[in-house]
Amino acid sequence: MNGQLPTLNEPSPNAMITAEELLEHAAADEAIVGLLEALYIGNQRLLTSMLGMLRADQIVEYLDTVRAIWRVLSAMGRDSQTARLKEAVAGLQFHSIDFLRRQATFVRTGDYQAEDAQAVYEEVYCSESVMREYLDGLLLTYIAWPNHYRLLQFYRNRYLSKEPRGRCLEIGPGHGFLALLQLQADSGNTLLGVDISPHSVAFTDELLTVAGIDRARFEICEGDATNDFAGVTGRFDRIVMAEVIEHVEQPQTLLRSAVKHSHPETLLFLSTVVNIEAIDHLYLYRSLDEVREMVDECGLAIVDELDLPLEFADAPADSFEVALVCRPQPQ
């Protein structure tokens, strides 16, 4: 032991666990065994990297996250539990397979495929069938993709744990799970969510409702946040834009609006990607420095950062997930 604490960026030491061991740990909790079996036995190939990341001493925390996500996902919709499980896992397969295909094309062409914001709006955000799979699947990536799981840990441990509390704004809540954690982190937090997709708005609203959050504590509105945060007024104590800035043509508009709606103590959480493709990615960050420079030019100071290289066979060396905790730059 060299006296240094392990950081979130470090790969786990050698102890790879098996799907069977994971299921043994979960055996007492019937509610999640079905999900884990569907994920880890039904989709072994897709989940190998998640198993590769988990160390034995992380299983309890991991299963708590699985439980928290499945509790809300399984309570949503009118389907039987079996049908709901099938539907949600199909969403994860959609995300994972679509991502692998698109990323392979991106590596060849060097460009994202989505045409423009209007096309993404019509073909993705307004499509009920696409968004159902998209949102179920995206939420499951937080327990199925190592980098998304690490991102969620960073969000909890290095963002939610910090002051101030109070009025929270989330741009692009999508499935709404990050909004839920923010509301659960402190009973004094209230939340306004703005999302361009009517399906994301409905999904987030339903997720917060089934989780038992008092309706007086949140409001989720439909709107294009690139347009001055869709008319939101006032300043917020906390602002979250997770996996959103790469989904617009000019991320600067969102970053500048975030500064405008901040006060000097506001704590912001941003996450985005560098050289990672998806069905609705529009703005291509080609390096971590490009992200940092844009954030700085728009008036935000980075106070904490997590960089996660994309880890699979033919991933380009400069592909990253990145999460930032920021404050407005002092005036």
Ligand X SMILES: C[S@@+](CC[C@H](N)C(=O)[O-])C[C@H]1O[C@@H](n2cnc3c(N)ncnc32)[C@H](O)[C@@H]1O
User: Site residues (CB under 6 A) for ligand X?
Assistant: 125, 138, 171-174, 178, 194-197, 200, 224-226, 242-244, 247-248
* Nearest distance from C-beta of residue 230 to ligand X, angstroms: 7
Query: What is the rounded distance in angstroms from the CA atom of residue 181 to the CA atom of residue 150?
Result: 15
Q: H/E element holding 99? A: helix 81-109
Query: What is the rounded distance in angstroms from the CA atom of residue 312 to the CA atom of residue 319?
Result: 10
Q: 32 or 120: whose CB is closer to ligand X?
A: 120
Q: 26 or 117: whose CB is closer to ligand X?
A: 117
Q: 205 or 243: whose CB is closer to ligand X?
A: 243
Q: 192 or 196: whose CB is closer to ligand X?
A: 196
Please work out, in degrees rounded to the nearest 5, the angle formed at the alpha carbon of residue 151 by the alpha carbons of 147 and 157: 140
What are 187's two structure tokens?
Answer: 């009973």
Q: 40 or 269: whose CB is closer to ligand X?
A: 269
What are 306's two structure tokens?
Answer: 């997590």
Q: Among residues 217, 215, 207, 211, which one has the least CA distance to residue 174? A: 207
Q: 59 or 185: whose CB is closer to ligand X?
A: 185
* Nearest distance from C-beta of residue 157 to ligand X, angstroms: 16
Before 309, cis peptide (omega within 30)? no
Q: What is the DSSP string of 245-292?
A: GGGSS-HHHHHHHHHHTEEEEEEEEEEEEES---TT------SHHHHH
Residue 213 to residues 54, 181, 220, 241, 243: CA-CA distances in angstroms?
Answer: 31, 11, 13, 21, 24
* Nearest distance from C-beta of residue 30 to ligand X, angstroms: 27
Residue 29: HSE in the Cβ half-sphere, 13 Å Cα cutoff: 17
Question: What backbone phi and psi angles, to 5 degrees, belong to 145?
Answer: -110, 120
* Nearest distance from C-beta of residue 80 to ligand X, angstroms: 27
Query: What is the rounded distance in angstroms from the CA atom of residue 173 to the CA atom of residue 197?
Result: 10
* Nearest distance from C-beta of residue 47 to ligand X, angstroms: 19
Query: What is the rounded distance in angstroms from the CA atom of residue 111 to the CA atom of residue 105?
Result: 8
* Nearest distance from C-beta of residue 215 to ligand X, angstroms: 21
* Nearest distance from C-beta of residue 183 to ligand X, angstroms: 14
Q: 62 or 203: whose CB is closer to ligand X?
A: 203
Q: 243 or 305: whose CB is closer to ligand X?
A: 243
* Nearest distance from C-beta of residue 221 to ligand X, angstroms: 10
Question: What backbone phi and psi angles, to 5 degrees, belong to 150?
Answer: -65, -35
